Amino acid sequence: MKLNQTEYDYYENTLKRKVVNAPTGISFTPAWLFDKDPVSPRMCRKFFEEVSAGLIPNIRRIGTRSQDGYTVI
């Protein structure tokens, strides 16, 4: 998923700030991760694709959809 520059900067900064500092075992939704509700569908899709591909190694999906949430392992 290709993001525009504003989305990309926000996406990268949020991942560094939230995911790295999240305690092990916490479950979260994209709305919590990106501090927005509703969240940009493109940012949700990019995060879903990166987690599915294993590019973010300490995060696992809870369900089959992005909105089902994720768990920090």
Q: Choose among 37, 42, 32: nearest CA to 5.
A: 42
* Whether residue 64 has pLDDT greater than 90: no
Alpha-carbon distance values, 24 to 34, 41, 58, 67, 71 (Å): 18, 26, 9, 20, 8
pLDDT tens-place string over residues 7-60: 899 888 888 788 878 899 999 888 888 777 667 788 888 889 999 999 988 899
Bridge-based pairing state of the strands 27-28 and 70-72: antiparallel
Q: Per this entry, what is the length of the chain?
A: 73
What does pTM read for this prediction? 0.81
